[in-house]
Amino acid sequence: MSGADTAVLDSKQAPWLSSGPLPRLFDALDTAGEEARVVGGAVRNALLQVPVGEIDLATTAVPDEIVRRAKKAGFHPVPTGIEHGTVTVVIDGRPFEVTTLREDVETYGRHAKVRFGRDWKRDAERRDFTMNALSLKRDGTVVDHVGGLKDLQARKVRFIGDPETRIREDYLRILRFFRFHAAYGEGLMDREGLLACIRARDGLSTLSRERVRAEMLKLLVAKHAVPTLAVMGEVGLLGAVLGGVPLLASYSNLVKVEAAANLPKDAIRHLAALGVYVVEDADRLRERLRLANAEYERLRSMGDRWWRISPEAGEAAAKALLYRIGAENFRDRAAIALARSQARNDDKIWLDLIALPDRWTPPEFPLKAKDFTERGVVKGPALGAALARAEEAWIVAGFPQDKVSLNLIAERAASS
């Protein structure tokens, strides 16, 4: 551990070190000539005192030994990436990704040729950013071989070693550089890293759409996404990812609208604010980012005539729209409309409009097929048309429930 910097995490910063399933995993792996440490995001987040999600470990033990020890301890090992040294150990239903220490022999994109090792410094040096290369011993000692503690204190996202070399190993690191700055960085971006990303931007075209989608959706809800996306736009990276002109003002306003309306940050809503002005933009983003069908449908809804939404149209029009498109789509579209309006982001009338689903639940259309067949409407297309006419008339009438109004609507629809 010569030349390494250290720090110490206490029990308040990392309570999971001494409670829950992790100590049992340490008992199995951090003994009998082998060492195990927590690595990556859990160490970084614990030092920053932000929530810790997954906990990953690195170990000097080779994969077969990880599997043997896990089984002996009564855990469930899953060889999720055993050819690269990774075994997922499941304890009480909780997964821990455990990877043997590695060092690169050759690198060609994501698929580096590696060999297993026992050198913690060499393992740290093959990672992407200094703040992600910290390791944590079970006694709370944080070990830093690459200057990550200093960069973390300065909130500086910095590549390990030569930035261009790190990027050539995996071009997704361009997007990760911006995503991590948006989440953890403060102030100006690391200049060398930024310039390397700009020079290597053509490499983004080699990435799978799924990987780009995953990074972008995380970036869009990060703490400092607004200034980060602005830089990406200025250097030509954001337009290349979206395949169109980024709507930065719309995106920035939406973030403020969500805060004023007490809406949770939502990656798909953010993507719509940034990249969807008309429905066709949603079509383009579905292809570029390989979006799930539900994500795509939300984008289409937010691009569909959002400019028609306004408090000036009245509550009856708002209720009609809410009935037709549902609560989630209504909130999305109304929030987008406010973000692109001339109103203040905290305009009370607009916020009341966005909150309409909280105070009014659309009723179920009360008329059924029998209400029309009893009036002589034949089953088939004619019946479907009569139901559609009646439902539209019922909406226009303000969703009445009394029998007199419903009978009148049914009679008119059946005789049209």
Q: Supply the pLDDT for residue 84.
A: 86
Tokens describing residue 138 = 């079970």
Q: Supply the pLDDT for residue 46.
A: 96
- Considering the four listed CATH numbers 3.40.50.10790, 3.30.460.10, 3.40.50.300, 3.30.930.10, the one that applies to the domain covering 1-154 is 3.30.460.10
**Would you say how long the chain is, in residues?**
416
The whole-model pTM stands at: 0.90
* pLDDT for 106 beyond 80: no
Residue ranges of domains in the chain: 1-154, 291-359, 370-415
The separation between CA 5 and the C-alpha centre of its own chain, rounded to angstroms, equals: 33
Q: Supply the pLDDT for residue 155.
A: 97
Tokens describing residue 258 = 């969500």
Query: In the chain, what is the straight-line distance between the N-terminal and C-terminal CA atoms, in Å?
Result: 86
Please give the share of the chain, as a percent, with pLDDT higher than 90. Answer: 93
The amino acid present at 376, given as its one-letter code, is: G
Residue 136 φ then ψ, to 5°: -125, 120
Inter-helix orientation angle 327-339/267-275, to 10° = 40
* pLDDT for 122 beyond 70: yes
d(CA 69, CA 98): 12
* pLDDT for 110 beyond 60: no
Please give the share of the chain, as a percent, with pLDDT higher than 70. Answer: 97
pLDDT digits (tens, 9 = 90+) for 219-232: 999 999 999 999 99
pLDDT digits (tens, 9 = 90+) for 334-366: 999 999 999 999 999 999 999 999 999 999 999
Mean pLDDT in residue range 376-389: 95
What number of other Cβ atoms are within 10 A of residue 308's Cβ? 11
